[in-house]
Amino acid sequence: MKIQAPYLMFLGDVPDQLAAKTAHGIVDWRREWCVGQMRLPGCGADLSIPDMDIVEGREAGAKTLVVGVANAGGVLPDHWTAAIVEAIEAGMDVASGLHTRLGSVPEIAEAAERMGAKLHDVRHSTQRFATGKGTKRSGKRILTVGTDCSVGKKYTALALEKAMRDAGMDADFCPTGQTGIFIAGRGVAIDAVVADFISGAVEWLAPEADPNHWDVIEGQGSLFHPSFAGVSLGLLHGAQADAFVVCHEPTRTNMRGVQHKLPTIQEVIDLTIRCGSLTNPAIRPVGIAVNTHALGEAEARDYLAKVSADHGLPASDPVRFGVEEIVARLKESFAG
């Protein structure tokens, strides 16, 4: 799917900031695409961008109303329908990351058909994928992998794309989740793809390219997570990664939502190489990205220095300290 920017961010009346995490991710990485936010009475979230109604958003140039929220069950509340229909009638497309399909709401479907608007349900791709083949393809790819889910794989991939471009490299972010799709304006929610076609979907997302081009592929889940390892493995095989960065959150002991203990960084490195070698025998780690949000600055720097020394790889917090050292290692590893 290809989502037209700029965006008017619709937050509805969500109760808090966390409920608008998708919208926050978009604003963090594509602020220039976001003309404003539309909030209904009682909304507890604020993106710190201008408040606008539909008419103001359209006058500011918005082409797509983005429902940038997450809620239990991914439902679209009935009382949001009027605002979405108003946006369609004002000439906007609509994009949503909720499980409820926009077109399943009769009023929205009718308005879209009448106005010729596009409805983007980013969790539900209409693209048909082949099964993965594992055949060597041109171009280079770097994948973010994790010791757990929700440890910063998307933010790390985006930070890598920016730093690689700043270093003069030809690099593109390849999103595999709903927020990443909004940020890139394209992509596929890999966790909603039928299992047989996961690796093929990633091959489609990061196809053959110029030998010097890098696709920076957003990872999902963890090879060690009992809930999501199947998605992570298919993604790894389809990525045919030349390089990978391990993402880690140091204060966790168990993996999110389960009782399984968090694997070590070295265990993730070893298993990623073992499994990734199926489609790229030359796969190698080039860095470690650590979410140090829960640590003070001095404690964070000490922890990163220890992790780097223990594994012989550059280690950094992408948001706090950047990923320039990881990019330098990447360039060094693939020079010539």
Q: Set out the domains of the chain in order of their start, with CATH numbers.
A: 7-121 (3.40.50.720), 140-333 (3.40.50.300)
pLDDT at 336: 65
pLDDT at 257: 87
Q: Which residues contact 99 (CB under 8 A, 6 or more apart)?
A: 73, 74, 75, 123
Note the pTM of the prediction, 2 decimals.
Answer: 0.86
pLDDT in tens, 157-193: 999 999 999 999 999 999 999 889 989 888 898 988 9
| Cα 85 off chain centre by | 28
pLDDT in tens, 226-238: 999 999 999 999 9
Sole residue written with tokens 């009935």? 78
Nearest Cα to Cα of residue 285 among 272, 274, 304:
272
pLDDT in tens, 188-208: 989 889 999 999 999 999 999
Please say if the pLDDT value at position 264 is more than 90. Answer: yes
Q: What percent of the chain has pLDDT over 70?
A: 99
Q: What percent of the chain has pLDDT over 90?
A: 88
Tokens at 127, concatenated: 């693209």
* Mean pLDDT value across residues 31-47: 97
Q: Which residues contact 3 (CB under 8 A, 6 or more apart)?
A: 64, 66, 93, 95, 120, 122, 181, 182, 185, 186
pLDDT in tens, 313-333: 999 999 999 999 999 999 999
pLDDT in tens, 93-113: 999 988 899 999 999 999 999
Sole residue written with tokens 């790390």? 156
pLDDT at 211: 96
221, HSE (Cβ side, Cα atoms, 13 Å): 21
Tokens at 80, concatenated: 């949001």
